[in-house]
């Protein structure tokens, strides 16, 4: 009796697991197809698209989809990195290697240039994340980009959950949430007036878990700091920050060496590491599944500023 | 069973849609600790005794200030049985266009009513829009049953009234399930309620996990709008010429006989290509690159279709419009039609009728079509395009109506005598 029911139970869970695995695979394939469709729509309808590329995992995924969408032809757009100067060396090395490997053209807008010539002033807290908006908008205007791909995902934050895949920005680059166009079926309306542009988010419908499962499936290479490594860090605002040119540690902050990894990669002054021993994609997937914190909540000081921090920055023209 | 269910909420303002979505996320443990902390803090600041779960979804500042939803929020969650893409839409009539956005891709809609008010004008409007868009399944969630003392009789009255309405809109029996719920307290959302012993049906979550969703029919005729021509002209691929797109309907295999429209050129599929290598077969929803046996002049906007079962090529058709703009539509209006990957100039030749979604009847020859109204029109296009009836092939029967000057999306369009079917049994 007992033995029998055990067998059937084992089989059932085995089948359930197989079914769940099939389901996950279908889901990733559907997300991939949707992303490729978005890339091709933009290539077909816009004159001067550009892909925002920082070397982080979402923008790396974006590039991976773009390569697949146009294969065997090269990606028909340049890349743009708004460089705060507060970088992780591993990420910049990775960025440049990807650009070379795929024969792409990279435009870098250095926030430092805007500070040097007085168009921007350094903030007292030393964070440069909010300073990216101006160089981004200036570069869009200078190059007359009409479509700007970003790696934003709706699951990142509840204001992002409200944004369309094609997000129209006015002449000041601003998102006007109350004036969003209806987005019906998979028919995207990218019409815009001169001076306006469209931000395009091919990864809108991906979750953090989808991103990692896809990275595992496609064996997408990422900068090494996404995996566990030893690093000297200090505690600030409840986050593990790393030493760097952004001013840290302060006198009362003690440096420790820990095993950490990064869940998101942004400006070094406000991106925290998480304690983790996940050294492979599979281990990261297990960790993400068990995590009780969102990736931004766990690692981004800039999103903790207020209840509407992300919305406010988007309204100003942020990604 | 299909692994993914796309669903949307609908119903009048304040009926509890966002609270219900928050409750689903919370009860399926899809809310992470920092998100919940934020909601708890905000709820305390507002002087509430229990956390307001709608704050999980109402992501815009003005939404939280006014306590209403303005635009669709997309949320993702999964249970061991299924993954869900959930669009929480606004109930306010002013934002119906956002409701249409959320519902256009839904396989099921959860339509809420407030148990104290029952079926109201906005419930009927949303039900009509859902029927028009062809959302195949509905759940009527009779919400706030806590405020009617979990009364069976009142629930039954609402359920009966709505059943009649849904049937008149063409929903067959079995495609609509009515559930008594309290989004605020969680009754019958993910957990069976002890307060409604008279209700023997599934909880909302049970139903969402188990409801069959029709997969795209495998044998539907092949439809492939060409998005982009891939011509690398590189030393490795000097002569490669592929047509990139996402399969809108049906399947494709090498050797299939196809026709390129609107030109009407016949050829066969030589290869179905992807960056991961050629495929033996690809089905609806797949983004692939199709290579053809003959060297033809094909560009973005053309449609590759099954030669045996092809769409109609025409520069004139009847369609239903769901008008989403505050500028009214009058006969003679010049617009753009975006259909598949092609955008053409068009004008509205005739405004046949307006559908009265309250009385479920039609008003013939109206003077205009106003915001949120549903109408039937005759469109004349500047060029011929290949179209299908929306009820047979939604992806090649759907189109946008665009204002040529400012680029605004004016209407959701569906080819065919759509709403001759709606209300036909009324
Ligand atoms: N008593 C009770 N109150 C509820 C229930 N569900 C929602 N509410 C309350 O009803 C009010 C409106 O809830 P929302 O979830 O914002 O309603 P909505 O349908 O999303 O509104 P819109 O999106 O603006 O159309 C809030 O004050 C909720 O707390 C319920 O089951 N019982
Ligand atoms: Mg709401």
A255 and B CB contact within 8 Å? no
Nearest to A111 by CA among A81, A80, A83: A83
Q: Is the peptide bond before B262 cis (omega within 30 degrees of 0)?
A: yes
Same domain, B402 and B280: no
More confidently predicted of B335 and A24:
B335
Measured CA to CA, the distance from residue A42 to residue A66 in angstroms comes to 11
A219 and chain B in contact, CB less than 8 A: no
Instruction: Look at residue A21 in the predicted model and tell me its pLDDT.
Output: 63
Dihedral sign of CA atoms B262, B267, B268, B269 in order: negative
pLDDT confidence tier of residue A246, bands split at 50, 70 and 90: low
Mean pLDDT, range A94-120, rounded to an integer? 93
A302-309, Cβ contacts within 8 angstroms, sequence gap of 24 or more = A302/A127, A302/A129, A302/A130, A302/A266, A302/A267, A302/A270, A303/A157, A304/A237, A307/B38, A307/B42, A307/B61, A307/B64, A308/A159, A308/B60, A308/B61
Mark whether B259 and B331 lie in a shared domain. no
Query: Quick check: is B217 in a domain?
Result: no
| Judgement on whether residues B125 and B265 belong to the same structural domain of the protein | no
What are the structural domain ranges in chain A?
A: 16-209+311-316, 224-302
The backbone torsions φ and ψ at residue A228, rounded to the nearest 5 degrees and listed phi first, read -60, 135
Within the 331-350 window of chain B, which residues sit less than 8 Å (CB to CB) from chain A? 338, 341
The reply to whether omega before A270 is within 30° of 0 (cis) is no
For residue B123, the CA-to-ligand 2 centroid distance in Å is 14
CA nearest to A41, candidates A71, A69, A74: A69
Q: How far is CA B200 from CA A208, B163, B176, B203, B373, in A?
A: 37, 18, 16, 9, 38
Dump pLDDT digits (tens) for B206-222.
999 999 987 666 678 99
Residue A242 has pLDDT above 50, yes or no: yes
- Residue B205, in any domain of the structure: yes
- Grouping H, G, I as helix, E, B as strand and the rest as coil, residue A84 is coil
Proportion of chain B in helix, strand, coil states, percent, rounded to 5? 20, 35, 45
Enclosing H/E stretch for B129: helix B121-133
- Predicted TM-score (pTM) of the model is 0.92
Give yes or no for residue A305 having a pLDDT over 80: no
Among residues A41, A29, A201, A72, the alpha carbon closest in space to that of B286 is found at A29
**Do B228 and B99 belong together in one domain?**
no
Provide, as residue numbers in chain B, all residues whose Cβ is less than 8 Å from the Cβ of A32.
Answer: 287
Nearest CA in chain B to A206: B76
- For domain A16-209+311-316, the CATH superfamily is HUPs (3.40.50.620)
A87 or B235: which leads in pLDDT:
B235
- Residue corresponding to tokens 């029927």: B131
In tens, the pLDDT along B85-113 reads: 999 999 998 888 899 999 999 999 999 99
Residue A206 has pLDDT above 50, yes or no: yes
The DSSP code for B113 is: E
Q: Are residues B239 and B291 in the same domain?
A: yes
B227 and B248: one domain? yes
Residue B66 lies in a domain: yes
What are the pLDDT digits (tens) for B48-66? 888 889 988 888 888 888 8
Predicted confidence (pLDDT) at residue A7 exceeds the cutoff of 60: no
Q: Is residue B131 part of a domain?
A: yes
Within 10 A of B53 (CB to CB), how many other CB atoms are there? 26
How many domains in chain B? 3
| CA gap A86, A84 in Å, rounded | 5
**Cα(B29)–Cα(B422) distance, rounded to whole angstroms?**
39
pLDDT band, very low/low/confident/very high, at A259 (cuts 50, 70, 90): very high
Q: Are residues B409 and B368 in the same domain?
A: yes
- Residues in chain B within 8 Å Cβ distance of A71: 230, 274-275, 289
Quick check: A17 contacting B, CB < 8 Å?
no
Q: What is the CATH number of the domain that holds B396?
A: 2.40.30.10
For residue B268, being part of any structural domain is answered with yes
User: Are B127 and B206 contained in the same domain?
Assistant: yes
Which chain A residues have a beta carbon less than 8 Å from that of B62? Answer: 177-178
A178 in contact with chain B, both atoms CB, cutoff 8 A:
yes
Conformational region of residue B361, where left means phi above 0, alpha means psi within -120 to 50, and beta covers everything else: beta
pLDDT greater than 50 at residue A265: yes
| Range from A171-180, A211-220, B90-99 carrying the lowest mean pLDDT | A171-180
Residue B218 in domain: no
From the list A22, A205, A307, which residue is nearest B74 (CB)? A205
Task: State which residues form the domain around B296.
Answer: 223-306
Residue A308's pLDDT is: 67
Residue B403 CA: distances (Å) to CA of A53, A140, B341, B406: 33, 26, 17, 6
B192 and B240 both lie in a single domain: no
Q: What is the pLDDT of residues B231-282, one digit of tens each?
A: 999 999 999 999 999 999 999 999 999 999 999 999 999 999 999 999 999 9
Name the DSSP class of A131.
G
Lowest mean pLDDT among A12-16, A24-28, B314-318: A12-16
Strands B409-415, B312-323: pairing is antiparallel
- Lining ligand 1 with CB less than 6 A are B 13-19, 52, 54, 68-69, 90-92, 143-144, 146-147, 182-184
Question: Which of B306, B326, B341 finishes a domain?
Answer: B306
Residues B285 and B144 in one domain: no
* Other residues' Cβ atoms within 10 Å of the Cβ of residue A67: 19
Statement to judge: residues B234 and B348 lie in one domain: no
Same domain? For B344 and B323 the reply is yes
What's the gap in Å between the CA of A117 and the closest CA on chain B? 35
Q: pLDDT band at residue A6, thresholds of 50, 70 and 90? A: very low
Please indicate, yes or no, if residue B216 is contained in any of the structural domains.
Answer: no
Q: The domain spanning residue B134 has which CATH number? A: 3.40.50.300
**Residue B215 lies inside a defined structural domain of this protein:** no
Cα gap B95→B118, rounded to integer Å:
21
């Amino acid at each position: 009796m007992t033995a029998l029911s055990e067998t059937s139970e084992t089989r059932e869970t085995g089948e359930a697991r197989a079914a769940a695995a099939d389901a996950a695979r279908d889901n990733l394939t559907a997300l991939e197809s949707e992303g490729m469709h978005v890339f091709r729509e933009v290539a077909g309808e816009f004159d001067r698209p550009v892909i925002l590329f920082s070397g982080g995992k979402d923008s790396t995924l974006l590039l991976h989809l773009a390569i697949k969408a146009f294969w065997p032809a090269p990606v028909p757009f340049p890349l743009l990195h708004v460089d705060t100067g507060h970088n992780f060396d591993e990420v910049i090395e990775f960025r440049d290697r990807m650009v070379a490997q795929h024969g792409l053209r990279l435009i870098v807008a250095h926030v430092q240039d805007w500070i040097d010539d007085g168009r921007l002033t350094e903030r007292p807290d030393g964070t440069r994340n909010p300073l990216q908006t101006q160089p981004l908008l200036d570069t869009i205007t200078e190059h007359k980009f009409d479509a700007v791909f970003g790696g934003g995902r709706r699951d990142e934050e509840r204001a992002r959950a409200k944004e369309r895949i094609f997000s129209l920005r006015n002449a000041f680059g601003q998102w006007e949430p109350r004036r969003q166009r209806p987005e019906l079926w998979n028919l995207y309306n990218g019409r815009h007036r001169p001076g306006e542009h469209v931000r395009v988010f091919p990864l809108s419908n991906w979750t953090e878990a989808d991103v990692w499962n896809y990275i595992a499936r496609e064996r997408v290479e990422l900068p090494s700091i996404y995996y566990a490594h030893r690093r000297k860090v200090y505690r600030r605002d409840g986050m593990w920050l790393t030493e760097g040119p952004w001013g840290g540690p302060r006198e009362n902050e003690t440096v420790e060496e820990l095993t950490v990894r990064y869940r998101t990669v942004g400006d070094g002054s406000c991106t925290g590491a998480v304690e983790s021993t996940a050294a492979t994609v599979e281990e990261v997937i297990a960790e993400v599944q068990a995590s009780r914190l969102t990736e931004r909540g766990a690692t981004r000081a800039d999103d903790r500023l207020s209840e509407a921090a992300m919305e406010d920055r988007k309204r100003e023209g942020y990604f | 069973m299909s692994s993914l269910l796309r669903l949307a909420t609908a119903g009048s303002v304040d009926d509890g849609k966002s609270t219900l979505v928050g409750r689903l996320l919370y009860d399926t443990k899809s809310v992470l600790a920092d998100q919940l902390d934020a909601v708890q803090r905000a709820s305390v600041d507002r002087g509430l005794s229990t956390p307001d779960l709608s704050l999980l979804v109402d992501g815009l500042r003005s939404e939280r200030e006014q306590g209403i939803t303005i635009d669709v929020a997309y949320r993702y969650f999964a249970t061991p049985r299924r993954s869900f893409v959930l669009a929480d839409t606004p109930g306010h009539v002013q934002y119906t266009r956002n409701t249409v956005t959320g519902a256009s891709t839904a396989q099921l809609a959860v339509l809420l009513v407030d148990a104290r008010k029952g079926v109201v004008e906005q419930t009927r409007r949303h039900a009509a829009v859902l029927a028009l868009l062809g959302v195949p399944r509905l759940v009527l969630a009779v919400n706030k049953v806590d405020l009617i003392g979990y009364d069976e009789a009142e629930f039954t009255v609402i359920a009966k009234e709505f059943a009649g309405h849904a049937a008149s809109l063409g929903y067959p029996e079995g495609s609509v399930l009515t559930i008594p719920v309290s989004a605020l307290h969680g009754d019958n959302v993910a957990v069976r309620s002890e307060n409604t012993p008279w209700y023997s049906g599934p909880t909302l979550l049970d139903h969402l996990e188990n409801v069959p969703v029709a997969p795209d029919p495998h044998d539907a005729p092949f439809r492939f709008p060409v998005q982009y021509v891939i011509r690398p002209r590189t030393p490795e691929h000097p002569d490669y010429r592929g047509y990139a797109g996402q399969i809108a309907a049906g399947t494709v295999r090498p050797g299939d006989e196809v026709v390129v429209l609107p030109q009407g050129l016949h050829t066969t599929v030589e290869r179905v290509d992807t960056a991961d290598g050629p495929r033996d077969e690809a089905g609806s929803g797949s983004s692939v690159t199709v290579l053809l046996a003959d060297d033809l002049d094909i560009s973005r906007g053309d449609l590759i279709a099954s030669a045996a079962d092809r769409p109609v090529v025409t520069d004139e058709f009847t369609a239903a419009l769901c008008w989403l703009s505050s500028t009214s539509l009058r006969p003679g209006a010049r617009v753009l039609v975006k259909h598949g990957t092609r955008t053409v100039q068009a004008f509205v030749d005739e405004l046949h009728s307006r559908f009265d979604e309250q009385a479920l009847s039609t008003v013939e020859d109206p003077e205009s079509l106003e915001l949120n109204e549903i109408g039937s029109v005759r469109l004349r296009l500047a060029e011929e395009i290949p179209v299908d009836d929306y009820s047979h092939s939604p992806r090649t029967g759907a189109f946008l109506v665009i204002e040529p000057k400012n680029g605004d999306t004016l209407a959701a369009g569906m080819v065919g005598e759509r709403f001759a079917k709606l209300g036909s049994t009324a």
